[in-house]
Amino acid sequence: MKHRGVTIVVHADGDLNTRQYRLPAWAFEAGKWAALVLGLLVVLFFTFAGPITRAAARVPGLDREVARLREQNARVQQLAAALNRAEQNYQQLRGMLGVRGAGGGLAARGSGAENGGELMRANGVSARAPGAAPRYERGLSAPSHWPLDVKGFVTRGQVRPGDPAESHPGIDIAVPVGTAVRAAGGGTVAAAGIDPDYGLYVLLRHPEGYETMYGHASRLLVSEGEQVQAGRVIALTGNSGRSTAPHLHFEIRREGRSLDPLTVVREGN
């Protein structure tokens, strides 16, 4: 019985002799399958070698990025520690000064706005020079005084109802930041806090249905529920809330109706 096989004949040009190689059939089949497996391995190598090579090339860059992030994290931790120390010092200072946060919203506007956060306030200050005769009446009184020691520059006056696009109760008085704001009359602090439009504000309630509102302050010097006399410094002017420049927004209302302050106050106009 003959064994099947494969004969390979090799003949070189110009050579009369030939060489024959006989391979068993099983060896030929094994070689064929080995070549197929080898080709598959080559394809798989190039398929996966590309991403692996690219990932390996990114390793140095990732190492540098990790080092940079670690350095930034260390700086953030240092800043956090510094902020914690500053907060502790701030709380200690508040305790020494007896400072407490402002409460309440812009109740007179019926908005029910809540306090947007704790506000730093200072204790009340004297409104007149030592030895000077008082210019203001004592006790509760209707608003009749200019709320500033200076006339200021009225950048926007009272706009009458009827043009909703230009509706503007009260007047805007341009003055430098930190100018003392005085109560236009004696009354009770109905609200003292922060409002998205008017920023830091004080609302006073006076006799005879009068109310006065002072907005865009930089510091509040009175608390809700406190009684103040006419002429007392209740705030310092600023640029808080919806404001483009330092000024005082001053309103006078009676029975819920807005009045033109320039026709009510006796001073400053």
Digit-coded pLDDT (tens) for 91-113: 666 566 554 444 444 444 443 33
Mean pLDDT of the 15-33 span: 76
Q: Are 181 and 213 in contact (CB under 8 A)?
A: no
Alpha-carbon torsion, ordered 243, 246, 248, 249, to 10 deg: -10
Instruction: Look at 28 and 174; give whichever has higher pLDDT.
Output: 174
Q: Length of the chain, please? A: 269
The pLDDT of residue 163: 54
The pLDDT of residue 42: 85
Q: Residue 156: which of 247, 265, 254, 26 has the closest Cα?
A: 247
Helix (H) or strand (E) holding 219: strand 210-220
CB atoms closer than 10 angstroms to residue 151? 12
Q: Are 102 and 122 in contact (CB under 8 A)?
A: no
In this predicted structure, the answer to whether residue 117 has a pLDDT above a threshold of 60 is no
Q: Are 249 and 231 in contact (CB under 8 A)?
A: no
Rg (CA), the chain: 43
CA distance 229 to 265: 16
Ranking 59-73, 174-188, 236-250 by mean pLDDT, the lowest is 59-73
Q: Are 191 and 108 in contact (CB under 8 A)?
A: yes
Q: Residue 117: which of 105, 100, 106, 101 has the closest Cα?
A: 101
Largest CA distance in the chain: 142
At 121-136, the pLDDT tens digits run 444 444 445 555 557 8
At 221-240, the pLDDT tens digits run 999 999 999 999 999 999 99
Q: Are 212 and 183 in contact (CB under 8 A)?
A: yes
Mean pLDDT of the 138-154 span: 87
Ranking 4-13, 181-190, 234-243 by mean pLDDT, the lowest is 4-13
In this predicted structure, the answer to whether residue 219 has a pLDDT above a threshold of 90 is yes
Ranking 97-101, 166-170, 261-265 by mean pLDDT, the lowest is 97-101
Grade residue 201 by pLDDT with cuts at 50, 70 and 90. Answer: very high
**3-state DSSP helix/strand/coil % of the chain, to nearest 5:** 30, 30, 40
Grade residue 141 by pLDDT with cuts at 50, 70 and 90. Answer: very high
> Which one of 31-35, 62-66, 93-97, 252-256 scores highest in mean pLDDT?
252-256
Domain 107-127+135-263 has CATH 2.70.70.10: yes
The pLDDT of residue 124: 42
First to last CA, the chain: 133
The pTM assigned to this predicted structure is 0.51
The pLDDT of residue 105: 43
Q: What is the mean pLDDT of the chain?
A: 77
